[in-house]
Structure 1
Amino acid sequence: MNKTNLNVTFAGNPVTILGNEIKVGDKAPDFTVINEKLESVKLSDFDGKVKVLVVYPSIDTGVCAAQNRKFNVEANSLEDVAVLSISVDLPFAQSRFCGAEGLENIITLSDHKDLDFGEKYGFVIEEFRLLTRGTVIIDKDNTVKYVEYLPEITNEPDYDAALKAVKELI
């Protein structure tokens, strides 16, 4: 797996990010992850919709939980938009969290099996085999329109910038 040129830290300590760094204007690579029923899900399953990829290390942390809560609230008001919440958590943990929190507007997907998403989009933290935090917005024609890799994993994403990018596409 390639190393990116991203300078990312976790609690102030540098980490190595692996995969192919995605950029605005790129054609969004298709990837395969699994849902709560352990079924394969592809990005192409959401063709014709704007896709918001909410990427994070683990649903069992405060910042990741806040990130998912925020995008769940926003997803309620976005038509023709699929909000895909992606981590390497087991699908059971993702489902448990969403059930406990009442999150019904996001689609949780796990990259734990093959890291297919993480490798194709440059989100794999080599030291932990987790995904780094970020947001990717993809238009209905599968062109990447917005990308944020958080320089410090423990920080929350720029929700306003991401939502502005989404609203410009719908």
Structure 2
Amino acid sequence: MRRFTQGFYGYAVALFVCLAGAGLFLLVTPQSREEHIPRLDYSITVANFGHTVPYGVWAPQADPANWVPNSNRIAEGENGAKVLYLGYATAARQHAMFAQSDERPAAGFASRMANTDKAAGSQQVGGVAWERRFREDKNQRSLVRVLPDVTLVITGTADWTELGELAARLQQRPKG
């Protein structure tokens, strides 16, 4: 009995017992191979945001097909302005975020959200021109639209087509 508790054989037996235990644990533990992205409803956040700002809130009429809304929040921006953030995992499983605020100056808010102040052209979405911004080192694309009462920014690692898809679904909800 002593030879199994000392020397090389003891080490080998202990190692075998540990590996067998780990293998048994992995065998009986349920495993999922499916991706799981938590889906968060943003309707209450959008409604609450609408009660705190003096303009009609912009929000997607419906989410793009196979997109998963996975984050939403209201935050305070510069000069006490409120900011609404809606985050998504796109159909291509990239990240996209929609942000809006009446923060002034609008250029400062747009530059902070896009991580750059340099325009990279424009993109037509539903007959409306959105300014494109691109930050190469972060692989971040942004669409910016400055309106008289609010600035809209759609940004993320999603490609221009996907960002445009979200922009096309935005509609302003009446104040009230």
TM range (shorter): under 0.3
Relative contact order, CA 8 A, sep 6+: which one is greater? 1
State the TM-score, normalized to the length of structure 2.
0.25
State the TM-score, normalized to the length of structure 1.
0.26
